Structure 1
Amino acid sequence: MAAENINAAAASIQSGQHHLNIEVLAASQELVPTGDGAERSRHLQLFHAALSGDWETAEGIYRSFPGEVNARITKRGETALHIAAAAEHTHFVKKLLKRMSAEALTYKNEAGNTSFCFAAISGVEALAKVMMKTGRDLAMTRGRENLLPIYMAALLGHRGMVSYLYDETKEKLTDSDRITLLVALINSDIFDVALKMLEAHPRLAYDRDEHQLTALHALAQKSCMPSSVVDRSPPEFWNKFLIPCFKLARKKKLMHKQALDLTQNLWKQVILLDDETISCQIGKPWPLIFTAAERGNLDFLTILIRLYPDLIFKVDQNTYSIFHIAILNRHEDIFKMMYQIGSIKNVITIYKDGEGNNMLHLAARVLESPSRLNVIPGAALQLQHELLWFEEVKKVVQPRHIEEKNIHGKTPGALFIEQHKEMMKEGEHWMRDTADSCMLVATLIATVVFAAAFTVPGGNLQEGTPIFLERIAFKIFAISDAISLVASASSLLTFLSIRTSRYAERDFLWSLPNRLIIGLTTLFISIGAMMVAFIAAFSLVFNNGLRQYSIPIAVVASLPVIFFIWQHYRLFLDMINSTYTSRSLFKPGKSPLFSKRVKPKVA
């Protein structure tokens, strides 16, 4: 069980944010209470007994000293009930409750937390239920900084505990408590309880006291949950973890649906307000839709825009719309919404910030979030992704914006080159190193298979005809050797063209990645064909003496092919995905604004 005394508390939410302060103190730091030597010794024994769940030791002390059952046994003012609840010893707590006074059940330590706060923090529902049976209103006894136990449990993500405590306290909570709790539930992804609370109290959508859309701001900060995690599972663990992965995927889908339902229900209440209030409050305490656009929260924006289309025209303090924010943070799904709003996009694309930067200038900036860029391996592919964005944004802006200068006198093209100068150097270095490594392998293969073509297995007759000319294995050898020679020579020339490229920025968009893909493909073919030629030659020369070893040798001969492909297949797939598949990222499809998946119900 727990070997540490955990004293957890949380500061109240300010402007939709929450802060959790958990102090972890080793047992040795809590052992010395006040009092004389004999009393300190008893309290030390009780502390150890409560921490380890040793009721026999504690009961022996209580028989001799009945008053100790209500005593504070640590310097921080904690009773044995505090310690046992923190250590999650339900049986110990049950025994203590029969002996303690009603007043001692609500004793607070120096931090201001009751023993029931410790039970809520533990997340053990059985522990809370046992304490609630005392008849005392422990769940509504506030702890540190006037926080309720249910709020502490919510911050720590204890779904079961929160659900139980909400059923016990839902009629006693104030509106302020509910709003604070609602935000904590959203931040901890406990959407089922949040939905239940909102259905019972629709007014929570708008904090009348603070005049803020607190809960919606918390939801705006939530990035979209993946609909599935199965595709991210390593192939070698697929079978072992298949069922758990599907269960987790199903759970995440349910949570995602609950989050969308909560967003929709909240927003339906908000749009009942007047337009002036809505326009004012989506920017307080921080911009609602722009936070969602920055996080890539497409479903959140879809729900809001469907029910309040004017949000498309809203801009932040920099005159950025949600599409400008999406470009800055490279969120393709949000940007693609532009293709479904018709000529309205012509109005949005003319927005400029204080420095005269238009939408294409923003696409020319280097990505500000490293976490978004680092998902793409290699500087060359990162630069290719940036070029794809620049070219795509160029299609939606007006022609005059392409060469338009900002207040610093820079066009979008010039700004792109300036911002990506270091990335271009890194990309060039990465491309050259990759080409050099693969050229070495291709050269070795070409040398070997070229020599093998003139030293055929078994030798030649006097007139120069190969001895094994009529054997099927010889024909396989000859064809494989020829394929390997042609493929390795093609690979060598392709990598040489990469090595001698001019490395202009536009070369990284298509030319260089495409050459690298061709070079790797032909290199894989040459290695595979070389191994086939080796196996065929071996079966010809040692057909009689070592025939029984042909299969093991064929398996061993395939190991270099497998090893090389295993080392480079990820690079190969990344190149194909970045060069060919990524071009469909911006393909206009059915707009999520009209998707049936999250279509709001019409009242």
Structure 2
Amino acid sequence: MGKTCSMDPEKGFHEVHIEDNIEVIPCKRKIELYNAVVEEREDFTVEAEVLREVTSTKNTILHVAAKSGNMKIAKKIIDFDPSLLHEHNSKGDTPLHIAASLGHLDMTNFLLSQHQHMTVPLVMITNESNETALHGAVRNGHKKIAKKLIEKDPSLTSLRNKDGESPLFIAVDRGFFDIAEYILDNKECCEYRGSKGRNILHAAAIRLDEKFMEKVMDKFPKAITEEDDFGWTPLHYAAHFGEEELVKLFLNRDIFLAYKQNNEGMCALHISAKKGHVDVMGMFIERCPYTCQLFDKSHRTALHLVAESGHTKALKIFFKNRKFAFRDLMNEQDDEGNTPFHIAAANRHYALLMSLADRIIMSNLERHNVLWSLDTMVDRQTIKVKNPKAEGTGAANSSEENGKKDKEDDNKKAKEEKKDDIKDLANFNLVVATIIATVTFAAAFQVPGGTGGDGLANLREKGTFVKFLIYDSLAFGFSAVSIFANFAYPFLAKATRITYPIMFSLVLTEFSLICLVLAFIEGTRSVLTENSWLPEVVYASLFPISFFLVRPIIVRKTFLFSSRKLPCT
């Protein structure tokens, strides 16, 4: 059974259950002993009743000593009970595993020296991950300890853990090339494979160490052609990371590596094209041109992947030195019927799309489908294409669905922007209309020429004064209705078929502004002599102003009673 504890509050004891044994251990003494080991105190004494006790992670007192690196305490423990050397904790680690992983060189040497107490070689004992102490030392970059363990038993370099990782692979994968080189230089036969079917060349390609690569290929020439669980060779990884020198190194060793395809049918050119590594692509196209004709499992060429990723510079590589050799790739369709042109349009890669359009050679049907695809998927502000309005192929139909979705997103965004613009216009219009209403309201009670004792206007008999009152009243009325429309337009837009109620309000404000100017002119004329030239000058200056005020009204009249709905409602 598992380990459980219960405490007697009067005696301060713990009842400890370990497997099928039940012991009563003095809890305080156990804690003191543990602390003494951790703190490396000289007053440490070995007691048989607590020596076999373990922590919650099943570490014995020797495991704790190995963690701290205290050899004096470890020696006392081993002298009293050597069997603790082989004890495992909850992860299956022995004290040697812990000492090697933590880099305690002296403790490791001491534990290895206790061979007289061992029935099984301590270095060969594995934990639950099937790892020896060497795996832990290498994983944590402890070169001196790794060398000591290899000297003790060179066969350790051939053992793989539960994930299939050898010490050599772990060293390369973690970037500890000094340890990896030591293993390569001092061991004739060692395991070089790792997890997920990878070998040390896969790991080295990821870690990008060229010098080490050459040493590995000299010792393990077959490693360069081996594929991992995903079908990737070391060349695939070099192409993925865009390492031109590594790619050159691999191709110099075996040019046919360029034609090997992974589980998805992608060769190294496909991968470099997808990532947009121009220099690597250029090397493949120049040295291995047939790779351009290879299809992945979706029947896509490298050009399809360039169109999908949108790397314009990568596209130019196809036509740089072999301008006419790859023209046929422009019309190649994948399993869904899409050419590179369709894919570029669907992904809205406009710069690449225009570059493709400059080079494309098509039949009438293909040209027709591509133009149709452009019209449905590409922003017309960027590329102007007239819709032929004809049926397309399966690729075009697929593109139409994508295009409609993109168009809906664009329309939604445009509506939101239109809504914000209308709100700003409404706020501005409300301020202007309010000012006009305030001015005209005040002018109605402070008339030109003043009032007599009876409260009547002194100039009420003059025609110009009557005109002043008419224009002033109209200006006030228009501005008042405009203010009302500003408050009511959200409801009017939903209840009526008026397209832009706010535009209607704006027109009223413009009328009120015109009437305000006319009221000013007539009010001025009413207090001047009959032959004064000032009103004529003011009227003359009104004409250019009126043009800019009236023109928007004429233009917007078509919006006032349109059957379309307001985008923001």
Range of TM-score over shorter length: 0.5 to 0.7
Aligned counterpart for 1:267 among listed residues 247, 251, 271: 251
Aligned counterpart for 2:368 among listed residues 388, 391, 403: 403
The alpha-carbon distance between structure 1 residues 297 and 286, as it changes in their structure 2 partners (threshold 3 A), is farther
Aligned counterpart for 1:129 among listed residues 122, 143, 147: 147
The alpha-carbon distance between structure 1 residues 393 and 413, as it changes in their structure 2 partners (threshold 3 A), is farther
Q: Which residue is 2:507 aligned to?
A: none
1:94 aligns with 2:109: yes
C-alpha contact (below 8 Å) 2:158/2:191 kept by paired residues: no
Amino acid at match of 1:184: A
Mapping for residues 155-170 of structure 1, pairs under 5 Å: 155-169=173-187
In 2, Cα distance between equivalents of 1:316 and 1:217: 14
C-alpha contact (below 8 Å) 2:304/2:340 kept by paired residues: yes
Q: Deviations over 1:561-593 (max 9, x none)?
A: xxxxxxxxxxxxxxxxxxxxxxxxxxxxxxxxx
The alpha-carbon distance between structure 1 residues 318 and 114, as it changes in their structure 2 partners (threshold 3 A), is closer
Q: Which residue is 2:339 aligned to?
A: 358
Shift of 1:111: 2.5
Q: Which residue is 1:84 aligned to?
A: 99
Mapping for residues 425-436 of structure 1, pairs under 5 Å: 425=411, 428=414
Amino acid at match of 1:347: D
Q: Which residue is 1:236 aligned to?
A: none
The alpha-carbon distance between structure 1 residues 46 and 127, as it changes in their structure 2 partners (threshold 3 A), is same
Shift of 1:34: 9.1
In 1, Cα distance between equivalents of 2:19 and 2:101: 18
RMSD of the TM alignment (CA)? 4.0
Matched residue SS, 2:52: helix
Matched residue SS, 1:349: helix
Q: Which residue is 1:559 aligned to?
A: none
In 2, Cα distance between equivalents of 1:285 and 1:416: 25
Shift of 1:80: 0.5
Amino acid at match of 1:388: A
Q: Which residue is 1:311 aligned to?
A: 291
Amino acid at match of 1:403: H
Q: Deviations over 1:140-172 (max 9, x none)?
A: 333335542112233334344333333333x31
The alpha-carbon distance between structure 1 residues 49 and 174, as it changes in their structure 2 partners (threshold 3 A), is closer
C-alpha contact (below 8 Å) 1:263/1:300 kept by paired residues: yes
Amino acid at match of 1:311: T
In 1, Cα distance between equivalents of 2:245 and 2:18: 52
How much identity, in percent, do the aligned residues show?
18
1:424 aligns with 2:410: yes
In 1, Cα distance between equivalents of 2:423 and 2:174: 50
C-alpha contact (below 8 Å) 2:165/2:193 kept by paired residues: no
Aligned counterpart for 1:338 among listed residues 278, 301, 318: 318
C-alpha contact (below 8 Å) 1:361/1:411 kept by paired residues: no
Mark the runs of 5 or more structure 2 residues left unpaired by the alignment: 1-16, 24-48, 370-390, 429-569
C-alpha contact (below 8 Å) 1:81/1:96 kept by paired residues: yes
The alpha-carbon distance between structure 1 residues 392 and 429, as it changes in their structure 2 partners (threshold 3 A), is farther
1:108 aligns with 2:92: no
Amino acid at match of 2:76: G
Q: Which residue is 1:287 aligned to?
A: 266
Q: TM-score, normalised by structure 2?
A: 0.53
Q: Deviations over 1:486-508 (max 9, x none)?
A: xxxxxxxxxxxxxxxxxxxxxxx
Matched residue SS, 1:185: helix
C-alpha contact (below 8 Å) 2:198/2:227 kept by paired residues: no
Q: Which residue is 1:172 aligned to?
A: 189
The alpha-carbon distance between structure 1 residues 199 and 409, as it changes in their structure 2 partners (threshold 3 A), is closer
Shift of 1:201: 4.3
User: Using CA pairs below 8 Å that are at least 6 residues apart, which structure has the higher relative contact order?
Assistant: 1
Q: Which residue is 2:203 aligned to?
A: 184
Shift of 1:219: 2.8
C-alpha contact (below 8 Å) 1:359/1:397 kept by paired residues: no
Aligned counterpart for 2:282 among listed residues 302, 319, 328: 302
Amino acid at match of 2:53: S
In 1, Cα distance between equivalents of 2:177 and 2:415: 50
Shift of 1:198: 1.8
The alpha-carbon distance between structure 1 residues 406 and 316, as it changes in their structure 2 partners (threshold 3 A), is farther
Aligned counterpart for 2:352 among listed residues 376, 389, 397: 389
In 1, Cα distance between equivalents of 2:178 and 2:86: 31
The alpha-carbon distance between structure 1 residues 119 and 330, as it changes in their structure 2 partners (threshold 3 A), is same
Aligned counterpart for 1:193 among listed residues 212, 223, 240: 212
The alpha-carbon distance between structure 1 residues 423 and 145, as it changes in their structure 2 partners (threshold 3 A), is same
In 1, Cα distance between equivalents of 2:191 and 2:128: 26
The alpha-carbon distance between structure 1 residues 34 and 63, as it changes in their structure 2 partners (threshold 3 A), is farther
Amino acid at match of 2:114: R
Mapping for residues 361-376 of structure 1, pairs under 5 Å: 361-366=342-347
C-alpha contact (below 8 Å) 2:164/2:193 kept by paired residues: no
C-alpha contact (below 8 Å) 1:191/1:262 kept by paired residues: yes
Amino acid at match of 1:50: A
Q: TM-score, normalised by structure 1?
A: 0.50
Amino acid at match of 1:81: L
Mapping for residues 587-602 of structure 1, pairs under 5 Å: none
In 1, Cα distance between equivalents of 2:133 and 2:74: 18
C-alpha contact (below 8 Å) 2:159/2:191 kept by paired residues: no
Mark the runs of 5 or more structure 1 residues left unpaired by the alignment: 1-30, 225-258, 367-382, 443-603
